[in-house]
Amino acid sequence: MKNVNGIIVYENIKEIVNPKHSCLIVWDVQNGLVNNIFNKDEFISNLKTFIEKLRNKMPVVYTMITPASKGFASSWYYYSMMKRFNVSDINKLPSFMAKGSKEREIPQEIKPTENDVILEKSTASIFIGTNFEYMMRNRGIITLIFTGIATEFGIESSARDASNRGFYPIVVSDCVSSMNKEAHEFSLKTLNKLIIVENSQNILKNID
């Protein structure tokens, strides 16, 4: 590591993923998404192991898709949801991740514990409309380790946003997934040019 005018600059993966200043993010791993990804069994297995190895070493934050209160969603939200579900009548939009629904639940294999944080949010960035950044600054966190669904949507958006805010963003290549394998792979290639993309085994072997 180097010290530049009082700013510590980390230079390798071991320094960057030091549990003292890192946080694990489990992004939108809810049944409504998990059941539609291209590699469900492999993804759940990898993610379960990764969470269990890190849970007692650093904070774990689970995000949950939580649509805006009725009457307060944006015009863009309705437009994008109409495209997503291929309907032209807003009144025919299906409920999405409604509270109490099975699709909203986190799979049992990777359920959060009482010490984990559950963060409800309504956008594809972990920073918008939440107190996440405030929480991280309070805790002295500078490295954000992203896992979850979907790689090309919320993962990429939040990782880019994290970079712009001065965090070290890491995307765990074998613990993120998507409904579209091609889009997932293309997103990882893009992110690899912009942030840090590492597999779970390499991260774990660099954490004491």
Is 203 in contact with 172 (CB distance < 8 Å)?
A: yes
Per-residue pLDDT of the chain (208 residues; tens, 9 = 90+): 899 998 999 999 999 999 999 999 999 999 999 999 999 999 999 999 999 999 999 999 999 998 877 778 889 888 988 888 898 888 888 777 778 889 999 999 999 999 999 999 999 999 999 999 999 999 999 999 999 999 999 999 999 999 999 999 999 999 999 999 999 999 999 999 999 999 999 999 999 7
Query: What is the Cα 173 distance to its own chain's centre?
Result: 12
Phi-psi region of 157 (alpha: psi -120 to 50; beta: other; left: phi over 0): alpha
CATH code: domain of residue 64: 3.40.50.850
Of 102, 103, 105, 75, the C-alpha closest to 90 is 75
In order, the DSSP letters of 14-42 are HHHT-GGGEEEEEE---HHHHTTSTTHHH
List, for residues 163-184, the tens digit of each pLDDT value.
999 999 999 999 999 999 999 9
Of 40, 11, 33, 48, the C-alpha closest to 200 is 48
Contact residues for 137 (Cβ-Cβ < 8 A; gap 6+): none
Query: What domain range includes position 64?
Result: 2-204
Give how many domains the chain has, as a whole number.
Answer: 1
Tokens 């072997």, located at residue: 205
